[in-house]
Chain A
C-alpha cells in the first residue's frame, strides 16, 4: 500500500496554485491519472519518486516512510525502489538498447525477457538516435521495469505507439505487472486507452 497525503505549490501562468493529494494506492493496483496540462500530474509523479519535494505532508510505502515534512524525513530516489517512465523518455544517448538494461540490472535472463516483451531483440546494439519514437518509448518502459520496482510511475508511456503495438504491449505489461505485483500509476492524455486495465483513477482539475 502506497499512502500519500501531500501539498505542493505549483507555478501557474496566473500565480500559484496548490496541489493537494490525499490518496492510497493498493499494492499491485493500477491507477490512471488524467486531467488538463499544467494540473500537476507530472509533478505528482516526481514527488512520489523523490525527484521533487512537497512543502507539506507524508508519503508512506507499507510501513516505510519515504517523506515526512514534519520530522524532515526525505528518502532519496535511489532508495525508493521505483521505476519511472519519463514523458520525453530520458534515454541515455551514449548507451545501446542492451546497455540501458545492463545499467539497471545484472540479471541476463531478465534482460532477455524484457527485450522480448518490448520486441527490441533485433535492435539491442542500437543507440537511441537510431530508434524510432515508438521504439524509444518501449525502451524507456523496459528500462523502468529492469530493476523490478515495487512502484512503477509512467508519464504518458504509450503516446508514441501505434494502436497495434499499444494493444500488444499493454497486454504483455498487464501480465508482468501482476506477476511481479507492481503498484502502477499511469498519467495519460487518453484515459480510454487504459479502459478495462486500470483498477482506479484520479482526475486532476
Chain B
C-alpha cells in the first residue's frame, strides 16, 4: 500500500480537470492506498458547506482524508465554521510532512 498526497489548487467551477484529480484520488483509495487530498488556493472553494461539490463528496466517501490550506481559506474569508463536515484546515507544513516521509506527492 502506497501513500499519496494529492494537492488540488483548482476550483471545480473554474476547471473541469479537477474531476480527473478527484477521480484519481478516489481510484487510488479504492485500490487500497492511503490517500490525502490537500486543497489549496482556489481548490478550497468547494470545501465550503453548501457548495456544490459532488466530486469532492465522492472523494470523501472513498475514504480519502481531505485537508484545506488554512492560509488559502483565510485569504478567501472562509472561516472554519463554514467548512463542510469532514474537511479539516491544515497548515502548509502538512505538505512538507508528507514530502519528508517520501509519500508520492502530486500537484494539480
Q: Is A bound to B?
A: no
Q: Which residues of B contact A (CB under 8 A)?
A: none
Q: Which residues of A contact B (CB under 8 A)?
A: none
